[in-house]
Each structure stands twice: as C-alpha cells, then as structure tokens.
Structure 1
Amino acid sequence: MKHKGNVRNILITTVKRQKWLSIGILIAVLGAIGASLIPPLLLGKIVDSITEGDAVAFSFFVLYFVVLALTGFMDTARESLLTVFGQKITHALRSRLMEKFLGLSADTINQQEPGTMVSRFVGDVDTVENLFTSGIISMFADTCKILSILAVIWFRNKGLTLVLLFLLPFLFWFTRHVQKNMLTAQIENRRAVGRASGHVPETIHNIRTIHCFGKEKYMEERYDKYISDSYRAMERTNFYDAIYSPVILILNAVVVAVVMLLSASGDQQILTFFGMSAGTAVAVINYISQIFTPVESLGMEIQTIQSAMAGIHRINEFFNLEADEADRASGKRQGVRKTAKDISEQKKQVTIDKIHTADAGDQTAVSFENVVFGYDEHLVLEGVSFEVKKGEQVTLSGRTGAGKSTILKLLLGLYEPQSGSIRIGNVSATEVPEEERRSLFGYVEQSFHMVPGTVREQITLYDRSITEKQVQAAARLTGLEDSIASLENGYDTVCTPEIFSQGQWQLLSIARAAVAEPSILLLDEITANLDVETEKEVLQALRRVSENRTVISISHRTSAEMGRIIMV
C-alpha cells in the first residue's frame, strides 16, 4: 500500500469492517429488484382473466398488494442501510483526513488555500459518501433491474425487447454526453467555490492592510469574480440537468405509442413480434415505465459517480501531498525509508541521546549558520548566522517583517530552511522527534490560545506524561497558584474566557510552556498586548521560569534585562 490514507484503501477497510451491513444492503437490493418484477405480471393476469370473463381469485388481489408492500419495504430498507453505510464512510474519511492534516508540516499547510483545504473535508467527502448512497450501489441496482425487465419482456413481447435494445445505446451515449459536460462544469464550480471560501478568511486576516491601502474595491472585485465563475458553472450544470429528464420522458411515451400501434396493426408478421393480450399490454406498459425510470436514474448516478471521482481525486491529492512531505522529511532524516518499529525507535533514541550529550559537553545550545528561508517567492531570511550558549538569554530585535517569528518557527522544526543549517546542540532542528519537542522547547506566543477543557488541561494540553506535581509547580512558578485555588473546582474548573484576566491568561501560557521542564524557552513578544502593571507581573513570573534555562525572546523594546541583542 503506497499511501495509508488512500481513499480506495479506506473504503475497502470500511467495507470489511461493516461486513454484515454490506450483506444486508446486497439482500435489500436484490430483494427489491425481484419483488418489483412480480406486480406487473399479477396485474396482467388479473386483466386477462377479467377480459376473458373468468372470475379472479381474491388471493390474486391480496398477493398483488402484498408484493407491492414488500417492494416498498425492501426499497426503504436499502435506502436506510445505505444511509448508515454512507455515514460510516464519511466518518472514516474525515478521521483519516484529520490524521493526515495534523501530520503535515506548517510549511506545507501554508502553501494550501484555506478554502480548498476546507472543501476537501466537507464537499469532497460528501461526494464520496454519495458515491455509495446514490452512486455505485444504486447504479448496480438499476442495471440489474433493467436487465431483469428486458429478460421478462423478451418472453412477453420480443419486438418490444428489440426496440428497447435498439434505443439503449442511444440513451447511453446521450447520458454520457450530458454527464461529461456536467462533470466539467461541476469541477469548475468546485474550484471557484474553493477560491471564494478562501477569499473570506484571507480578507479578514488582512483587513487592516486592505483598509490602509484602500484595496476594498479590489478585494470585492476578486470575490465577485470567484462567485461569477461559480454561477456560470452552475448554469451549465442546470442546463444539462434540465434537458435530460424531458428527453427520457418523451422516449418513454414514444416507445409505448409505437408498440401499442404495432400490436393493433392486424398484420400477422408484425403481430408475431408485437402481438399481445390486453393483460400483457398492461404489464408491458408497466415494465416500460419501470425500465425508463432506472435509465433516467442511471444518468444521475453516472453524474454522482463522476462527481465523486473528482472528489476522490482531490482527496488523494491531499494524501499524496502529505506522503510526499513525509517521504521528503524521511529521506533527509534517515537517508532510506525504513518502517520497522525497532529501527525507528532506535533512531529516535540516538537523536535524543545526541541532544543530551551536546547539552552536557558543548556550551552551544542553538546555532544558525547561513540560513536562507522565504515564503513562496518572498525571501525573509538571507544568510542569517548566530549562536546562543547554554543558559544564555538573548533577544531578537529588528523591524516588522524581518523574520524574527520565522526564526522561532524554524527552530521548532515547523519549517525547513532552503539552505544553511539550524542545530540544537549537534542535532538538526528537523531531526528532533515530535514527541520530544515539548520537553526541549517551551514556546510562549503573544496571546493565549485556549483549548476545550479544564485549567489543568490548558497547562498539560492533554499530555498524560505530565504529572499533577509538575502542573502545580508550573502554576506556583508563574504565580497562578492562588488564583487557581480560588476557582470553584480549582484545577478541574472548566475554562471560559471570563475566569481569568488577560495577564493571567498570559501567565497560564507561560505555565503551559514551563510544565514539561524544557531546557529552552522561546518567547514571541509575550508582553506586546499588556498594560504596564500586568507586564511587570508577567516579567516577574518570566524571570522565575527562565532561571537556568536558555531563553530566546522577540521584542521591539530592548533593555539590559533582555540579555544579548541579536539584530535580524
């Protein structure tokens, strides 16, 4: 299996896990097809008996309505089971998508359009669900129904069967022509909707810049263009959808009329193929209606399948993107891709040991050497070099946009430099195992990002390896111990925005960074949004937390307390 998250593999796994549900769907499909063939035959028998003057047994009427009820029950069972099965598919796909998404590097995520990324989780997954609920299985059922009806009609009216066999290739061609055009329009619509969806968060994120440079009209025109592209694509889809059903209905009526005229012609040769009794005529008309209905549905199912295939293609692109990133990182970190668990654990332990050995024998904690990095075509860092000694406190300073925050993200291994090296001791920043980064780095941002849960969970981030003793020590170190104790349920209090002040939330952010007892603290302008009094309180807590640790901070303001200044 090339990609663990490949849609095909996920679908196969889900089908295997839902074996009894799959069997139930198959029974319901075949049962509905078989039951639907019986009522026209019974109705024809009843009509023939009446026209011949024979008495019709009451049991025929009862059987007729029982079979109709059974057909309806089997159809309902099929739809219900398909709905459940589709939900299972949706759950499996979205779970795997999120798993892959969380494994992507920040650099890879930043290169994706937010709207396009969201559309994969929502619209594309829904189309894959439709692939089963109203696509492949429904298409299989309708195909079986068409073949079954043709087989029954052959024994009742061979001429009609030949007429239908003559028309089916035309219907197939017409359906394919319509659906190909609809698929093209749908793909264009998806792209336009993805761009429009991404335009809104982009506008919100850059709203100050837009107002500053008077670009409101430009952003409005861009959004209008995306919406117009979507509308034009939808208009083409609606046009083809509108012409398809009338053509099918007209053909239905024409076939019935032709067969009825031929059966009443009186020519013996024609009657050999088209002659039939009144009861057979009733059954045949019923069957003609039944065969054109699934043909019409078949067209819609082909559309659904093609739309789903476009969705699958887009989802697989996402999985391939993740796999390519993983392969690239793996190639750099290991040289050759190896999946054996013991080898992976061995390499991980070697990396950890190298970090600790470097800390013990080398006074260099962090080093940048001729680092070059940029976003797309925009170069942010060019030939940046500096060293930070173990236990040293340094401050990165420089103009806005100079790349100070980018340096921290490179150090955290979120991005990889385009050239140059970034090392933690003797180890490349990208070689640090993800599960070890929290014990190595403590990262504090400008504002606190709350997660759902209690005060304890804000600090631990659901890391079970962190003990209660460590949580309380971090709270005590930042001066939050009394504030937390005053809460109704202490550390078990469910967090809401109003339970702490802005300064206390920032102290909680420092506690979160310090709780795993990291050797390096990274601080990204943590006092930028605080008033003077609150800033003093936060800086006092920071002095306690920074003791015996390497500290790299970002600040526009410089002072003697900030240690050595590195200009960026």
Structure 2
Amino acid sequence: MHSGTCSKLNSGTHSSKNVGSVMWRTIKKQKWLSAGIVCAVAGAILTALLPPLILGTIIDTMTTGNVVSFYLILAYFGFTLLMGALESSREGLLIVFGQKITHALRSSLMDKYTDLTADALTHQEPGSVVSRFVGDVDTVENLFTSGIISMFSDACKIVSILAVIWFRNKGLAIVLLVLLPFLFWFTRIVQKNMLTAQIENRRAVSRALGHVPQTLHNIRTIRSLGKENYMAERYDTCIGESYRAMEQTNFYDAVYSPVILILNAVVVAVVMLFSASGNANVLSLFGMSAGTAVAVMNYISQIFSPVESLGMEIQTIQSAVAGVHRINEFFSLEQLPEKTDYRKESTQKKDNVFVEFQNVTFAYEEQNVLNGLSFQVKEGEQVTLSGRTGAGKSTIFKLLLGLYEPKEGSVLIQGVPAQDIPDAEKRHLFGYVEQAFHMVPGTVKEQITLYDPSITMEDVRAAAQMTGLSDTIMSLENGYDTPCSDEIFSQGQWQLLSIARAAAAKPKLLLLDEITANLDAQTEKEVLQALMRVSENRTVISISHRVNATTGRVIQI
C-alpha cells in the first residue's frame, strides 16, 4: 500500500493546471533568465541590421575615391562579432530555460499522476503515460530552445529589415510586401498539415510504447500459444502508422525549404533587372548605389534565410503543439476530489461499528459488480469475505481504500465515507496486505516505513518482531540498513515483510487479500501465525476462497 506518501490536499490547484499555466509560473519564477533572453533576442536583432549598413557606407566611400575610416572598418567587424556573441548567448539561455520548463512540466505531471482517481489510472495505457512524461515534454522544451523564440526573433528580424529596406529601396520593399502574404498563406498550409501528422505520429508512438511492456508481461503465454508472429505484426502495424505520419511531416518539410530558396532567387533577379533597366520611373523605385546594392543583397539573404528556417521552426512548433495537446489531455483527467475535514462529517458513526456498507452498488464501465450490498463489521471483529471469482471481493477492498466511489450507497469507516479520508491519515487507519510484495527502492527499513517519517525505528523493530522476521533481518550484513534485492528473502519472508509494512503504522483495521494463496503449507502456517499476532486487538477483514481455513465470521459475496 502506498498511502505512506502524502498527496496534496489542495487538489483544486491541480485541476486548473495546463501547459500554459506551468510555463507562465516558470517564466515568473525565472524572471532574470527570461529578461536575459529578451535582451539577447532584441540585441541580436538590432546588431544584425548594422553590419550591412556599415558595409554599404564603406563601399560607397571607396567608389567615390575617398579613404575609408579605420573606425568604420572596426565598427563593421565589432558589430559582426557582437551579433555572433548575442546569438550564442540567446541559444545558451534558451537551453537553460528549456530545461527549467522540462523540470516544471514533469513535476506537474507527477503531481497530477498522484492525484488521479483509480478509475482514471486504470484507463491509461502505460506506454501513453510514459510518452507524455518523456517524448511530449521533450517537444515542449524544443518549443523554446529551437521553436517559438527563434520564430519570434526571425519574424522581428524580417520586420526590421523591411523597415530599413523601405528607406533604401522602396521598390524592393514593395516586392517583398507583395510576396509576404503568399509566404504567410503557404506557411499556414504547411503548418496545419504538419500539426495533423504530428498528432497522429504521437498517438502511433504511444501505442507502440504500450505494446512493448504488454508483450514482455505476457511473454510466457505468447510463447506457449505460439503467438510471437501475431504480436510482432501488431507492433509492426503501430510502427507503420508512425512511419506514415512522419512521412507526411517530412514531405511538407522537404517542400517548404526549396520554395523559399526559389523565391529568394526570383526576388534578387527581379531587383537586379529593374535596377539596370535605365527607365527613370523604375529607377526612382529600384535605383541604388553600389554600396546600397551590397547592403540590399545582404538584407535579402537575411530576410529569406530566417524565412527558410521557419520551415524547421514550424515543424518544431507543430510537434510541440501536438505534445501540448496530449499533456493537456492528461492534465484534464479526473482527479481525486479536494479533501475536507472529515472529522466534522463523522456524524453517521454507530456504536462499535467500524466498517459499514450501506446498499452499495458499483460498476466497472456499465457492468455492475456489486448490487445493493450491505454489511457491518464491528470494532475488533475478524471477518472473511468469500465468494466466487469475479463476485467483487477485491472491489470491496478498493472501495474501502478510497480508490473508487460507489455508484450508489455509502462505504463508511468509523462513520466517514472512505473516499473522504485524507491519504496522510489512511496508513494509520488501515493496513493493506496483498498477495505479492511490491518492493520499493531502498533498504529493508524503507520497505517497512515506505519513507514515512512518522514511523520510528522502534515501530519498525516492533513490526518485524511481531511477524517473526527480526532475527532474519538482523542476520543480514547491515541489518535493517541492508539494501533490498530479490534474493535476500524467500517468498514467505517477503509476505511476512508485507505484513510488517502494514502493521508498522499501528493501524486499527487490517485488510488481507488472499495473502496465503501462493504459499506452500509450511510457509502458510508461519504466515498465519504472524497474522494472529498482528491481528490481536484489531479489526480484520480478509479475502479467502478457503472458508475452512478462516476464523471469525464469514460474509458471502
């Protein structure tokens, strides 16, 4: 049971969370870094305008036979170096900022993950969740490091160059202004088609990621039934869907750059032809000195170079937008309701009644599992739930643990609805022992405490002593501080450790889910003896198919 870790009680803050809000909080938190990026972007744009103007002045000075000032040459190289330094600063700051965004997003996703309802969790494919935490978050990082900021910088650079060209060569400015709407229209078509392809690719990749762990989990069944080829074909289908989506993305990306290069060449040719026409009216728009011609040619390449790079930036942005859509879908999943002070609501408690089901109906999807179930368990009573497979015994435990809410009726623990009990208090209210032990990274002590600081070392030793594991643990090289691995305990000892984990917090209620089902007769006897000691003075509800091996009252489900 993992209730030893406390989830956030203020779930309302998580419900309004999305990628945009996480980014905005990161920007406000990293205000100096954000300011540095703005200064670097603005400085790089302004310094990019100066070298062509200075170069044009140098050439005009030389063509008139005058001596070029040393300071003019120095200014040209100085501003060129400054532009390079600012561009490098921008890239470095963007990488750092992208990492901050990545950290904030993954932390927010984990907060959301821990707040999801059990129903929402069971409907999530493992591969889909992993792809959101890894692939989708990485694309959002790219949105900043090589996407939206670069695109904004390039757009500002284009506008600035157009303004300069207007004063140097109005004809060229008019040609570019006529051309820009076509570029915008063409870019939008590429953008929309790439977004569709990127979203489909993300879905296909998540299906492929989910297929791999599913295959590994069921590998014995697959091999015994000879279904290796079938599983391989399913995986190939997922990969094929991803490949086709990426083909569409690559097609639009491949088309975009050549179109921009051709337009660049056409504009240069048109300007040069008009400037050499000899017509007075044409020259009033396109005429220019040698120095201006050099500057204009430089500016043309500076306009079409960022426009060409927009193709890559659009692909990055569309990939990121697809990632943003998928992350926001995850943020919008149903989560645990905000917990109130459940003590104020404990008005339904009945004398000596610890657990009560009142006309409980529960369904998975549309299939009812429990129909109007009612029973009571008195304080200190030991009860066994028995019934056929699929009758709903494990579902009763999930309702008691607050993982699900009943469709109808009430599930009460000490008069309080089970789903209203805060996670921070659950472990001290009930302990849950499953059929198999679930190890966490850490030492033997941490297997028992689950990193809960409220459980002292004395509590750990007492729980181990009660289950009969104390001598075994002390025989290990570092005792309770021995790092856990699969081979240090036998199957029965792992189950005893699971009981110690449940008992360490001194809960009032024990929930035992077929804990001896996979044990041999001798090991089962040892586990049952440990349970007798742990169950003393506690309310116990257990699940068992063997009624003759149980003690206490039996409730038939």
**Kindly tell me: are residues 563 and 498 of structure 1, through their superposed partners in 2, closer, same or farther at Cα, counting changes over 3 Å?**
same
In the alignment, structure 1 residue 62 sits paired with structure 2 residue 56: no
Provide the aligned C-alpha RMSD in A: 2.5
In the alignment, structure 1 residue 507 sits paired with structure 2 residue 496: yes
In the alignment, the residues of structure 2 paired with residue 43 and residue 381 of structure 1 have an alpha-carbon distance, to the nearest angstrom, of: 83
Given the two structures, how large is their TM-score scaled by the length of structure 1? 0.89
Quote the offset at 1:218 in angstroms: 5.2
Aligned 1:530-545 pairs, distance under 5 A: 530-545=519-534
Structure 2 match to 1:341: none
Quote the offset at 1:379 in angstroms: 3.6
Q: 1:11 aligns with which of 5, 18, 23?
A: 23
Structure 2 match to 1:455: 444
In the alignment, structure 1 residue 43 sits paired with structure 2 residue 38: no
Checking the alignment, whether the CA contact within 8 Å between 2:198 and 2:318 is kept in structure 1 is no
Between stretches 518-527 and 557-566, larger displacement belongs to 557-566
Structure 2 match to 1:340: none
Query: Quick one: higher RCO (CA 8 Å, sep 6+), 1 or 2?
Result: 2
In the alignment, structure 1 residue 349 sits paired with structure 2 residue 343: yes
Checking the alignment, whether the CA contact within 8 Å between 1:11 and 1:89 is kept in structure 2 is yes
Structure 1 match to 2:176: 164
Structure 2 match to 1:20: 32
**Kindly tell me: are residues 383 and 224 of structure 1, through their superposed partners in 2, closer, same or farther at Cα, counting changes over 3 Å?**
farther
In the alignment, the residues of structure 2 paired with residue 163 and residue 126 of structure 1 have an alpha-carbon distance, to the nearest angstrom, of: 39
In the alignment, structure 1 residue 128 sits paired with structure 2 residue 128: no
In the alignment, the residues of structure 2 paired with residue 269 and residue 206 of structure 1 have an alpha-carbon distance, to the nearest angstrom, of: 80
Checking the alignment, whether the CA contact within 8 Å between 2:277 and 2:283 is kept in structure 1 is yes
Quote the offset at 1:517 in angstroms: 1.0
Structure 1 match to 2:356: 367
Structure 1 match to 2:235: 223
Aligned-partner residue type, residue 169 of structure 2: N
Between stretches 453-462 and 68-77, larger displacement belongs to 453-462
Given the two structures, how large is their TM-score scaled by the length of structure 2? 0.91
Checking the alignment, whether the CA contact within 8 Å between 1:196 and 1:226 is kept in structure 2 is yes
Q: How many residues align?
A: 545
Quote the offset at 1:565 in angstroms: 3.3
Quote the offset at 1:247 in angstroms: 0.2
Q: 1:284 aligns with which of 293, 296, 305?
A: 296
Aligned-partner residue type, residue 146 of structure 1: I
After superposition, the C-alpha distances for 1:89-110 in whole angstroms (9 at most, x for unaligned) are 1111111111111011212211
Q: Give SS of 2:511's match.
A: strand
In the alignment, the residues of structure 1 paired with residue 228 and residue 410 of structure 2 have an alpha-carbon distance, to the nearest angstrom, of: 41
In the alignment, structure 1 residue 101 sits paired with structure 2 residue 137: no
In the alignment, structure 1 residue 495 sits paired with structure 2 residue 484: yes
After superposition, the C-alpha distances for 1:254-292 in whole angstroms (9 at most, x for unaligned) are 111111111112222211111112222121111101001
Aligned 1:433-444 pairs, distance under 5 A: 433-444=422-433
Structure 1 match to 2:149: 137
Checking the alignment, whether the CA contact within 8 Å between 2:139 and 2:316 is kept in structure 1 is yes
Between stretches 188-197 and 307-316, larger displacement belongs to 307-316
In the alignment, the residues of structure 1 paired with residue 102 and residue 471 of structure 2 have an alpha-carbon distance, to the nearest angstrom, of: 46
Aligned 1:70-219 pairs, distance under 5 A: 70-206=82-218, 219=231
In the alignment, the residues of structure 1 paired with residue 550 and residue 279 of structure 2 have an alpha-carbon distance, to the nearest angstrom, of: 110
Quote the offset at 1:560 in angstroms: 4.3
In the alignment, the residues of structure 2 paired with residue 235 and residue 298 of structure 1 have an alpha-carbon distance, to the nearest angstrom, of: 19
In the alignment, the residues of structure 1 paired with residue 192 and residue 231 of structure 2 have an alpha-carbon distance, to the nearest angstrom, of: 33
In the alignment, the residues of structure 1 paired with residue 373 and residue 354 of structure 2 have an alpha-carbon distance, to the nearest angstrom, of: 17
Q: Give SS of 1:269's match.
A: helix
In the alignment, the residues of structure 2 paired with residue 168 and residue 510 of structure 1 have an alpha-carbon distance, to the nearest angstrom, of: 71
Aligned-partner residue type, residue 494 of structure 1: P
Between stretches 156-165 and 108-117, larger displacement belongs to 108-117
Quote the offset at 1:48 in angstroms: 2.9
In the alignment, the residues of structure 1 paired with residue 394 and residue 233 of structure 2 have an alpha-carbon distance, to the nearest angstrom, of: 33
**Kindly tell me: are residues 207 and 380 of structure 1, through their superposed partners in 2, closer, same or farther at Cα, counting changes over 3 Å?**
farther
Q: 2:253 aligns with which of 220, 232, 241?
A: 241
Quote the offset at 1:28 in angstroms: 0.5
Checking the alignment, whether the CA contact within 8 Å between 1:392 and 1:550 is kept in structure 2 is yes
In the alignment, the residues of structure 2 paired with residue 167 and residue 271 of structure 1 have an alpha-carbon distance, to the nearest angstrom, of: 20
Sequence identity, in percent? 69
Checking the alignment, whether the CA contact within 8 Å between 1:116 and 1:197 is kept in structure 2 is yes
Aligned 1:397-412 pairs, distance under 5 A: 397-412=386-401
After superposition, the C-alpha distances for 1:95-145 in whole angstroms (9 at most, x for unaligned) are 111111101121221122332222222222223222322233222211110
**Kindly tell me: are residues 389 and 502 of structure 1, through their superposed partners in 2, closer, same or farther at Cα, counting changes over 3 Å?**
same
**Kindly tell me: are residues 420 and 205 of structure 1, through their superposed partners in 2, closer, same or farther at Cα, counting changes over 3 Å?**
farther
Between stretches 392-401 and 235-244, larger displacement belongs to 392-401
**Kindly tell me: are residues 390 and 319 of structure 1, through their superposed partners in 2, closer, same or farther at Cα, counting changes over 3 Å?**
same
Q: Which runs of 5+ in 2 are unaligned?
A: 1-11
Checking the alignment, whether the CA contact within 8 Å between 1:135 and 1:302 is kept in structure 2 is yes
Structure 2 match to 1:518: 507
Aligned-partner residue type, residue 333 of structure 2: L
Q: Which runs of 5+ in 1 are unaligned?
A: 334-343
Q: Give SS of 1:551's match.
A: strand
Q: Give SS of 2:332's match.
A: helix
In the alignment, the residues of structure 1 paired with residue 26 and residue 310 of structure 2 have an alpha-carbon distance, to the nearest angstrom, of: 25
Quote the offset at 1:209 in angstroms: 5.9
**Kindly tell me: are residues 210 and 398 of structure 1, through their superposed partners in 2, closer, same or farther at Cα, counting changes over 3 Å?**
farther
Between stretches 88-97 and 496-505, larger displacement belongs to 496-505
Quote the offset at 1:42 in angstroms: 2.5
**Kindly tell me: are residues 212 and 403 of structure 1, through their superposed partners in 2, closer, same or farther at Cα, counting changes over 3 Å?**
farther
Aligned-partner residue type, residue 167 of structure 2: F
In the alignment, the residues of structure 1 paired with residue 203 and residue 263 of structure 2 have an alpha-carbon distance, to the nearest angstrom, of: 36
Checking the alignment, whether the CA contact within 8 Å between 1:176 and 1:299 is kept in structure 2 is no
Q: Give SS of 1:381's match.
A: strand
After superposition, the C-alpha distances for 1:398-436 in whole angstroms (9 at most, x for unaligned) are 343333222211111111222233222422222222222
Structure 2 match to 1:339: none
Aligned-partner residue type, residue 533 of structure 1: Q
Checking the alignment, whether the CA contact within 8 Å between 2:384 and 2:541 is kept in structure 1 is yes
In the alignment, the residues of structure 1 paired with residue 211 and residue 148 of structure 2 have an alpha-carbon distance, to the nearest angstrom, of: 35
Aligned-partner residue type, residue 425 of structure 2: E
Quote the offset at 1:221 in angstroms: 4.3
**Kindly tell me: are residues 55 and 158 of structure 1, through their superposed partners in 2, closer, same or farther at Cα, counting changes over 3 Å?**
same
**Kindly tell me: are residues 222 and 523 of structure 1, through their superposed partners in 2, closer, same or farther at Cα, counting changes over 3 Å?**
same
Checking the alignment, whether the CA contact within 8 Å between 1:42 and 1:64 is kept in structure 2 is yes
In the alignment, the residues of structure 2 paired with residue 403 and residue 203 of structure 1 have an alpha-carbon distance, to the nearest angstrom, of: 28
In the alignment, the residues of structure 1 paired with residue 41 and residue 290 of structure 2 have an alpha-carbon distance, to the nearest angstrom, of: 31
Aligned 1:314-333 pairs, distance under 5 A: 314-322=326-334, 325-326=335-336, 329=337
Quote the offset at 1:527 in angstroms: 2.2
Aligned-partner residue type, residue 109 of structure 1: L
Structure 1 match to 2:7: none
Q: Give SS of 1:559's match.
A: helix
Structure 2 match to 1:33: 45
In the alignment, the residues of structure 1 paired with residue 388 and residue 64 of structure 2 have an alpha-carbon distance, to the nearest angstrom, of: 100
After superposition, the C-alpha distances for 1:41-74 in whole angstroms (9 at most, x for unaligned) are 2222333334344433444443322222211110
Structure 1 match to 2:3: none
Checking the alignment, whether the CA contact within 8 Å between 1:521 and 1:549 is kept in structure 2 is yes
